[in-house]
Amino acid sequence: MVEMARPLPERDVHVLFDVLVVLEGELLSGQFSRDVMAHVMRRLANDGLLAGDASVGEFTAAVGDLVLRLRYALGEYPELPEPWPRETTYLLRLPNPEVARLCEEQLVAWGGSAVTVCGVERGSEWEVRATFAELAPDPSHDERGVQLVRLAGEYGGRYEGWRP
């Protein structure tokens, strides 16, 4: 990595951080202008930060990576952080280990990786986590969420959400 010849004032880094955090939130909520998004994506592709055919989810992940790097620049991390994984982990809660294992089998059949089942300390629920390649806010990410809501519901459980 090349050292900057003229570091930015800390206040400017804070402002850039704020802009990127707002951008990331707007992207995740689907509120960002498609025209502006396409323009920014082209610029990032020209700078080598994104592939030319990157999805909105990949763009959002790249913005998240920039947020992490600005946090590093502000001294919040001792080392430059690694980019976020380009995958999403989904979480389901099921009422017992038998149905949790059935869900696990289905998630593996759908191509899920790192599928885990474990008992939850509080109560009798079982947690199932599965990782897939979809990234928010891509349509495939939303479709996966709908699929998992149905799966959990079939077995008397619930879909708890996702994390990058």
pLDDT digits (tens, 9 = 90+) for 28-45: 898 889 899 999 999 999
What is the DSSP secondary structure assignment for residue 66, as one 8-state letter?
H
Q: For the whole model, what pTM was predicted?
A: 0.79
Distances in whole angstroms, Cα of residue 140 to Cα of each of 68, 95, 143, 152: 25, 27, 5, 18
* Interval 100-149: pLDDT, tens: 999 999 999 999 999 999 987 666 899 999 999 999 999 999 999 999 99
Q: Which CATH class is domain 88-163?
A: alpha beta
Domain locations in the chain as residue ranges: 10-73, 88-163
**119: Cβ–Cβ under 8 A, 6 or more apart, which residues?**
97, 125, 126, 127
pLDDT at 27: 92
Determine whether 56 is exposed, middle or buried from the number of CB atoms within 10 Å of its CB (0-12, 13-18, 19+): buried
